[in-house]
Amino acid sequence: MKTLLALGAKRGFGVPGESYLEVLDAMFDAPDFAFTVTRNEGGAAFMAEAWARLTGQVGLCFVTRGPGATNASIGVHTAMQGSTPMILFVGQVGLDHQGYEAFQEVDYRQMFAPLAKHTIEIADPARVPETVLKAWTLAQSGRPGPVVVALPEDMLRAEADVIIPQGPIHVDQAAPTDRSVDAIGDLLRTSKRPVLLVGGAGFDGPAKAALAAFQSKTGIPVVCAFRYHWVFDNTHPGFVGEAGVGMTPNTRRVLQQADLIIAAGTRFGEMTTDAFTLFGPDRGEQKIVHAHPSADEFGKVVQADLAVQSHTGPFFAALAKAGQGAPHLDQTWANLARDGYIQSQQAPPQPGDLDMGQVTLHVRNAMDSNAIVTSGAGNFAIWTNKFISYGPDQILLAPQSGAMGYGLPAAVAAKIEHPDRQVICYCGDGDFQMNCQELGTAMQAGAGPVILVVNNGTYGTIRMHQEKHHPKRVSGTDLKNPDFAAMAQAYGMFGAQVTRTQDFAAAFAQALADPRGAVIDLVVDQSAITPRLTIKQLQNSSR
């Protein structure tokens, strides 16, 4: 705890456990460190990941051995896929009991090998400061990610003479070379349809500002990577879409027609490549520049014409300073790209009495200029991904891993960090019930987000795939749900059920005004399987 405090740690999330009692005891003597007690280790890990993404600091999670670690693994996986700096401290059986399949024993090096950036076990108490310092540095350097630190019980009870590191450490950011900047300038001068594809690791405030400044000088259209809408102002004329699940035809067309892609911060994963169908060796004359803080990302999926090991802030700052531009930009093409994005924001009328398109339009118009939106995973998340246009100070926190149950813990973490900001969470009914127990954390912490539960009585994404691949053979996807409004009231929050579009505005206003937080149960027609597709249309297309 002394090492963490010296490094600048201020907050952690977790569930207490007997395997790390000594750490909990040390927290008693650290009044400047806030420990948020959650109801499940999965919720704690999600909160730590969301808090880290929101603040740009290292997220800290503390859990007990065995079952605590397995529960928390979902947040570790989410942090890895989201390139989020995080440390999971997990208790471990004593060193003298290891290897015997002792009570709750797990080999964390094997367990977390494919999930975490690095896993360390501290066997010697004299090495605690250096190991914590190493974890802190690794979590932030290169491509940020989660580091797991195992704490054997007997090591925690041992004594040693140690030297606590003095003051926070600074992990410097990589910058592009002059040669790379000149090469990009040459590519831009011959480009007519350049696109900036941005998102991912290291997009802090300075990086956002540098991106905005470079885009302002050049006018190059911007596409944000999956669930990274917030790195560029969606209301700006230069924003033309998001490269994520269910990529719109307009976004795909823009990326296909671009003669130059400058990808910065983002990985070329399944989402940004539209299931690995974009940017392949058959891309013709299209040139690709890939800037990323970790060289390990180069060539993993896409072979770039120019790979630049650089963080996004220094990358765009260097380009803007060098005066790089796109003097031959096809403005007609760029305007069509923007028009296509604006048109994609218009949802068709939805079946049933409650139209989520109208609900989301109302939410979008009622959001504060610095509102924070969170969501988990499921077809309901299309509303936050495709139908909310995020302003320069608005944020979307959603899992790169596609983990259900993320939205509610993320909303609680966001409200704890920013109690004066609007925090609005979209959940599906199945998604909500993955971590609805964290309403207790919200109640205890005095953090009251507004939670919108899109309730269609089914695991909608899976139902959609069933109708596509096994039409009219529905199995295992129906849900019988509790009274979500009553559940909210049991946790001391405002709760309401809305079944008609015209009743939403009043309920939402009441929810926003209630400092305790709120859950609004939005009962929607099950046939509205996605915003642009009904179950009947799916069934007809599969005949």
Position 527, amino acid: S
Which tens digit of pLDDT belongs to each residue from 125-156?
A: 999 999 999 999 999 999 999 999 999 999 99
pLDDT at 97 over 90: no
Amino acid sitting at position 243: A
Give the C-alpha distances (Å, rounded to integers) separating 358 from 4, 354, 435, 502, 503.
47, 8, 27, 9, 11
Q: How confident is the model at residue 50 (pLDDT cuts 50, 70, 90)?
A: very high
Per-residue b or e along 393-419, where b marks 16 or more CB atoms closer than 10 Å to that residue's CB? ebbbbbbbbbbbbbbbbbbbbbbbbbe
Query: 46: buried, middle or exposed (CB in 10 Å: 19+, 13-18, 0-12)?
Result: buried
Cα(92)–Cα(77) distance, rounded to whole angstroms? 20
Give yes or no: residues 528 and 391 share one domain: yes
- If pLDDT is split at 50, 70 and 90, which confidence band does 221 have? very high
pLDDT at residue 17 is higher than 90? yes
What CATH code is carried by the domain that includes residue 96?
3.40.50.970
Q: Quick one: 398 and 320 in the same domain?
A: no
Domain annotation covers residue 166 = no
Q: What is the pLDDT of residue 543?
A: 60
Least confidently predicted of 279-293, 335-349, 462-476, 506-520: 462-476
Same domain for 497 and 420? Answer: yes
Counting residues of the chain whose pLDDT is more than 90, the rounded percentage is 83
Mean pLDDT of 315-335: 85
Residues 409 and 319 in one domain: no
* Full domain range(s) for residue 198: 178-344
Whether residue 164 lies inside any domain: the answer is no
Structure confidence at residue 23 (pLDDT)? 97
Looking at the structure, do residues 323 and 190 belong to the same domain, yes or no?
yes
Alpha-carbon distances of 38 from 167, 326, 506, rounded to whole Å: 29, 50, 31
- Whether 146 is covered by a domain: the verdict is yes
Residue 171 counted as domain residue: no
- Whether residue 360 sits in one domain with residue 335: no
What pLDDT does 344 receive? 93
CATH number of residue 214's parent domain:
3.40.50.1220
Q: Which residue's entry shows tokens 């077809």?
A: 379
- pLDDT-based confidence at residue 392 (cuts at 50, 70, 90): very high
Q: Examine residue 167 and state whether it is found in any structural domain, yes or no.
A: no
In this model, does residue 105 exceed pLDDT 80?
no
Q: How confident is the model at residue 326 (pLDDT cuts 50, 70, 90)?
A: low
Query: What is the count of structural domains for the chain?
Result: 3
pLDDT mean over 158-180: 90
Residue 101 lies in a domain: yes
Among 95-109, 276-290, 466-480, the range scoring the smallest mean pLDDT is 95-109
> Final residue of a domain: which of 344, 365, 393?
344
* Of 542 and 519, the one with more pLDDT: 519
- Could you say which of 344, 377, 406 is where a domain stops? 344
- Shared domain for 334 and 452, answered yes or no, is no
Average pLDDT over residues 372-397: 94
C-alpha–C-alpha distance, residues 286 and 201, integer Å: 24
